[in-house]
Amino acid sequence: MHLQLPPSLPEKGFTLVELVIVMVIVAILVAVTAMNVRQPVEAYLDATTNARLTGAALTATQFMRRELREALPNSVRVTQAGGKIYLEFLHTVSAGQYRVGAPGNSLDFTSSGAGSFDVLSPPVLVPANAYVAIYNLGIPGDNAYAGDDVRQVTTSGAALSTISYVAGSEPFPIDPSNHRFMIVDTPVSYVCSPDAADPASGTITRYSGYPLSLSQPTDFTQGTSSLLVSDVSDCSMIYTPGAIQREGLVSMSLTLAEGSASATLYSQASINNEP
């Protein structure tokens, strides 16, 4: 007995022309899809970068504002050099009242020699290598940067009731009615180095621990530095001192950029200039 098999079906496939047509159609669909997806993806990435830059700018300006509120009265100054902006002030860590008159150890306003005085207010914090400042007005003859109303302390501790200091060139110039002193731990400078062409190279750097200088410094080889923020494409720092014993104002503008994303933040810090 023999089985009769059905005739085989003819083999079918794609022709070269059909394959090319399918490839062209697929390429067109991919291109159209990519065009429709690209813009939302780029917008999302820009929004994410913008949010990060805004957060970094906000953190940097808040940090500077917080420290500026601790500036020694009449010690803020701003200068520009070499495309950079320099904002400097003397940073205070504590304050109190000194003894005047007997009995006890009172602050001497008649001698330029080394001395000491009793603290009448609660014991104060005095870091090592700090300065005691008396009624800084920031004017000739009464300028902390010139050493007129500051002396380096020779005692340090977390809660001192007596403070000793080194000799100066002249006696303390003014005995204020409030008998107030301030302890300065270091001068501080914020240096903004913007770079519009390459924002990744633009920075704001904090410098501290360098010597006092009557002329505002632009070289901090004797101090320490720490990077505050990068990606700085533009910045502005303006100080309006106002009248003596009145509030000054530091106005700051900071622009951070990365690729096509950027963030600009404006901020102001009030400065208490009452000595």
**pLDDT attached to residue 275:** 83
**pLDDT attached to residue 21:** 77
Q: Are 238 and 98 in contact (CB under 8 A)?
A: no
**pLDDT attached to residue 264:** 94
Segments of the chain scoring below 70 in pLDDT: 1-14, 18, 29, 31-46, 243-245
**pLDDT attached to residue 91:** 97
Closest CA to 189 of 83, 82, 71: 71
Residue 230 to residue 53: CA distance in whole angstroms: 10
pTM listed for this prediction: 0.82
Give the torsion sign (CA, 137, 80, 68, 129): negative
Provide the 10 A C-beta neighbour count for residue 168. 18
Please give the distance of CA 147 from its chain centroid, rounded to a whole number. 26
